[in-house]
Structure 1
């Protein structure tokens, strides 16, 4: 082909490509922000022992899928079974004490009723002897002094008997108050015993460690026969779904980033496949501010470093499930900041 014809064609093609690129950049390209400083994340739970004991059984292996509620680890439960029996016995003892107090109360109520009757009888006797004493005292001429003395003695004895009956009635009523106090004390002890029983049941249940959600076992540290204390990390559980991406965008890329914007994710493990997601939130501070040793720029020579802000991106559809993507994988994230028409 003639060189004179090729040069104009190349120039025209370059102009067309430049115009096309410029049109694309004006309509879409200027709204796109991308970063390869991004990683897949997930709520990885560290499964720990709630109570101390010897590991009796390991029901799972590394990289094993489990369902919510599946048994992971079983500890030796004999000590906790004995503690449960002891706590149950304490509850029964306090319940028996309450029953004994109730029976004693019924007996005491009968005693009080008898005391009331005794007081009434003594009062009647006092009234009778008082009348006899008055009558014999008035018959000075016809009744002997001995008879009058007997009447006075009977009256004084009746008054004493009435006082004793009233005192016995007061003691019986006071004893009822003592029973009330004992009942309250026993009820409080029963509540404590029931709390101890519930704690014993919980501790016995803690000897069976089960999966809190669907996931895959990883980083297993438990071994049969090993002694573990409370809080010992036994294994990790990676969730089967709910994965996300944490993308660290530069500070000069954040001006128009906001929640709800669409994102495209390409994982290094699957370079030919594009996953979709959407922006959920932006971190309230740069990543360096949350580091163990934040940079102190007020000392020494200052070198400006572009800061990055973590952006949480939720994966859509099947991408959020564990399988194609896994926590920790590197990805490239592209966010479309173009406003909705």
Structure 2
């Protein structure tokens, strides 16, 4: 009888302990849930929060400007590069030959200027000689005209023979012809000078064209060495040496470190009424849950994200179901560049913006 009584007493005591522990645990859970609920309510009352957010930065393609075979690749996947670092070298043999040909053509055009200028100088000297010949021919013509007048008068009074008059007349005709020839030669020399000057102008234009060709070929040769346009980080490498690439082909992608980083937070349309440009935001990235970053709202999208999609929805085409739309909000990340360096484009984040009451 005593043994049974002791067993019942021990059972009752165990039940009371279990009941007490259960009550304590339940109370703690209820208190924790109440604290969490109160904090959540306070946070929702003070902040607009979304977990539909991603870190973003400019990722630009590195494009070949010329066609050719790849000679060297001087970067590795995910390598940090500085502005001006050589990324890819394309074989420039063909372009270098074209450049040499263009330079030779330019030198030839410049050499022709010296030749034409020499011809102009020579023709100018010749024109001076023709001027002397004109003076001599004119003097001779004047003398022959006077001689003809004398013999004509003598012939009229029958003091000279017809043969003498004919001889003087022929000499006068020769003198006139020589005078006209000298004038024509002088005029022709002047025309040659004008022609040479026109040729010089045309040659000047040709030289400018040749210089432009040389400049273009210099650019083409420079395009065979592809440089990093800014400080950044290379993406995946998809090319190999000796591979033929075409002008306009994408060779790699580079993450622009100079342009900074930002977060695109897609808030519901009911959350943005209190947001303003310049407002501060708190950002927690999933990759670093114990660390928070700060940012500033740069802009709010002019339309919902669905309107920028490839196939925007049209509510008039079928059954309408009202769904809260998302508005992309761009938030510029602030802080030490070394801290922001840890963040990569595409990382998920949680963004909280304090509500501003009007």
Task: Give me the TM-score of the superposition, normalised by structure 1.
Answer: 0.86
Q: 1:176 to 1:337 in 2, by over 3 A?
A: farther
Q: CA deviation at 1:213?
A: 0.8
Question: Is residue 271 of structure 2 the alignment partner of residue 253 of structure 1?
Answer: yes
Point out the structure with the larger helix share.
2
Alignment partner for residue 222 of structure 2, among 205, 218, 239?
Answer: 205
1:183-202 residue CA offsets vs partner (Å, 9 max, x unmatched) = 23322222222111111111
Distance in 2 (CA, whole Å) between partners of 1:208 and 1:302 is 56
> Secondary structure of the residue that 2:149 maps to in structure 1?
helix
Q: CA deviation at 1:327?
A: 0.8
Equivalent residue number for residue 351 of structure 2: 333
1:275-332 residue CA offsets vs partner (Å, 9 max, x unmatched) = 1111111222222222111112221112222222222111112258653111111111
Equivalent residue number for residue 215 of structure 1: 232
Alignment partner for residue 78 of structure 1, among 93, 109, 123?
Answer: 93
Q: 1:339 to 1:115 in 2, by over 3 A?
A: farther
Question: Is residue 333 of structure 2 the alignment partner of residue 315 of structure 1?
Answer: yes
Equivalent residue number for residue 228 of structure 1: 245
Alignment partner for residue 112 of structure 1, among 119, 127, 134?
Answer: 127
> Secondary structure of the residue that 2:175 maps to in structure 1?
helix
Aligned residues between the structures: 320
Gaps of 5+ in 2: 1-30
Q: Is the 8 A contact 2:85 2:227 kept in 1?
A: yes
Distance in 1 (CA, whole Å) between partners of 2:346 and 2:216 is 39
Equivalent residue number for residue 177 of structure 2: 160
Gaps of 5+ in 1: 1-12
Equivalent residue number for residue 55 of structure 1: 70
Which structure is larger by alpha-carbon Rg, 1 or 2?
2
Question: Is residue 324 of structure 2 the alignment partner of residue 306 of structure 1?
Answer: yes
> Secondary structure of the residue that 2:283 maps to in structure 1?
strand
Q: 1:304 to 1:123 in 2, by over 3 A?
A: farther
Q: Is the 8 A contact 2:275 2:356 kept in 1?
A: no
Distance in 2 (CA, whole Å) between partners of 1:109 and 1:322 is 77
Task: Give me the TM-score of the superposition, normalised by structure 2.
Answer: 0.82
> Secondary structure of the residue that 2:290 maps to in structure 1?
strand
CA RMSD in angstroms, aligned pairs only? 2.5
Alignment of 1:154-193 (within 5 A): 154-193=171-210
1:28-84 residue CA offsets vs partner (Å, 9 max, x unmatched) = 965632221111111112112111111111111111111111111111121121111
Q: CA deviation at 1:339?
A: 6.7
Question: Is residue 149 of structure 2 the alignment partner of residue 131 of structure 1?
Answer: no
Distance in 2 (CA, whole Å) between partners of 1:30 and 1:183 is 83
1:132-188 residue CA offsets vs partner (Å, 9 max, x unmatched) = 222332334344443333332222221111111222222222222322332233222
Q: Is the 8 A contact 1:275 1:319 kept in 2?
A: no
